[in-house]
Amino acid sequence: MHEKERHNVILSAVQERPVITVADICALTGASEATVRRDINTLHLEKRLRRVRGGAEAITPPQFVGLAGRTFAVNETMRSAEKQAIARAAVELCDDGDAIIINGGTTTFQMVHPLAMRRMQVFTNSFPIAEHLLKHSKNTIMLSGGAIYREQNIILSPFDNDVTRNFAAKRMFMGAQGLGPLGLMEADPLLIQAEQKLIGQADELVVLVDSSKFEQRSSLVLCPLERIDVVITDDGISDRAAAMLEAADITLIVATPNAATQTGSG
């Protein structure tokens, strides 16, 4: 790829996300890290982007409205072994023929691999979950309607009269930004509005969170602890967090990466 072509790719990429890393650009262009850093420096001096630590950002922010919180691409790289173990334990709760809801997120996305062997009715607001299951499984897939938010790879609608109200599920599987004494927390009001509609369509709420989520907080509460039936997490959960779940009478499933899962209940 010639220098001008690389520059066009880089300038296009920084318009799609708040910050693009050197590693991202290397993957997009096939160029070496040293070459990419020179390209960023050149474009920075030309005032066509802004150089930041480890990458670059757009001088003018992207024009579409995104959601608060980390992007799907960034989250996907974090604590992947724990997320895979948690997702396997979640799918073990399911039987063929079940109607389930899977909310968008990087932990819930890991459910697609064990779900490849199942035949279920799956409703999701996650574009990547729907796409993967359509290609690699025999599950029946339903998508919610609305706008696709590129950064989080989810479909959200601000309207009450969408298809969500027509799907009744045995269980809903969802992740969250944080989980604490006040309940399940998220970062964006639109996300909370859409997720509350989905929760209302499920008999049982199963929350998939790695153990770091018990230390994270947000100013927005999605639902109280009392609404949660099951929490699946990894073996890094603290005694304090486990006691909080037990006191709320929530079933706790601890999934150990590359090992069997352990179940306990309050």
- b/e string for 23-59 if b means 16 or more Cβ within 10 A? ebbeebbebeeebbbebbebbeeeeebeeeeebbebe
- pLDDT band of residue 76 (cuts 50, 70, 90) is very low
3-state secondary structure of 73: helix
Report pLDDT for 198.
87
- What's the one-letter identity of residue 137? S
Reported as a single tens digit per residue, the pLDDT across 220-254 is: 899 999 999 999 999 999 999 999 999 999 999 99
- pLDDT band of residue 144 (cuts 50, 70, 90) is confident
Alpha-carbon span 145 to 165, nearest angstrom: 11
More confident residue, 144 or 255: 255
Reported as a single tens digit per residue, the pLDDT across 19-71 is: 788 988 998 888 999 999 999 999 999 999 999 999 998 887 654 444 444 44
Report pLDDT for 35.
95
